[in-house]
Chains A and B, each alone.
Chain A
Amino acid sequence: GQNIDQPTEMTATEGAIVQINCTYQTSGFNGLFWYQQHAGEAPTFLSYNVLDGLEEKGRFSSFLSRSKGYSYLLLKELQMKDSASYLCAVMPSGGYNKLIFGAGTRLAVHP
């Protein structure tokens, strides 16, 4: 079966760094996406990894290890507006490019 695990909730302090982990087991692998979703809004694209290693994009970075079925999203210099759910999604192979989403990690940033 297909399984994606991420922590349900995390809290962090404004200005700090937080790492949100995601582990996956899927039938093949064609890429991993991270999305941000604020309450009551649509998911918005943050990052994409298909090869092992770190992808950096401003305050956000995403890491992938395909052999370990593991990814993390790193958020630096946290701001209050970063309080949101962060969704890990994997594209299995041979599935017409559908995405399998994790349940999301709800991040609360405190002053």
Chain B
Amino acid sequence: DTAVSQTPKYLVTQMGNDKSIKCEQNLGHDTMYWYKQDSKKFLKIMFSYNNKELIINETVPNRFSPKSPDKAHLNLHINSLELGDSAVYFCASRSSGGGLRETQYFGPGTRLLVL
């Protein structure tokens, strides 16, 4: 069973379109994250939800809107896609309780290419 899964794995779309990517975790974790990894492989946090509540919102254009229907799911909707949005988007989740339990586990990534 996959612990953190994402769909789709690949997404190719035209500039200006709206698209969504989805994430699900079956680890029973309370907190989920979206990260963006650009062409230089730099992994940068975008958002985090804890029990469906948004707790981290980094400096991200408001074309990006996360949604967490329950603590096992975190989706990311992107409006008016731009060329610079091309990247790999990783979902991650973690438990709570301090120490090693803070380890984040990553999904397989969604490779987004905007043409």
Contact = CB atoms under 8 A, between A and B. Distances in A.
Interface of A: 30-31, 33, 35, 37, 41-45, 48, 50, 85, 87, 91, 95-101, 103-104, 106
B102 A97 contact: yes
B12 interface: no
B61 interface: no
A103 B56 contact: no
Given A42-B107, A96-B48, A104 B102 contact: no
A31 B99 contact: yes
B71 interface: no
A48 B31 contact: no
Interface stretch (B13-21, B36-44, B62-70, B74-82): B36-44
A48 to B, nearest CB: 5
B41 A33 contact: no
B11 interface: no
A101 B42 contact: yes
Interface residues of B, number: 24
B51 interface: no
Contacts of B94: 97
Given A45-B103, A48-B100, A48-B103, A96 B56 contact: yes
Contacts of A99: 45, 104
Contacts of A50: 99
A41 B88 CA distance: 10
B41 A103 contact: yes
B115 interface: no
Which of A31, A37, A95, A99 counts the most chain B CB atoms within 10 A?
A99
A42 B90 contact: yes
A12 B56 CA distance: 39
A33 B43 contact: no
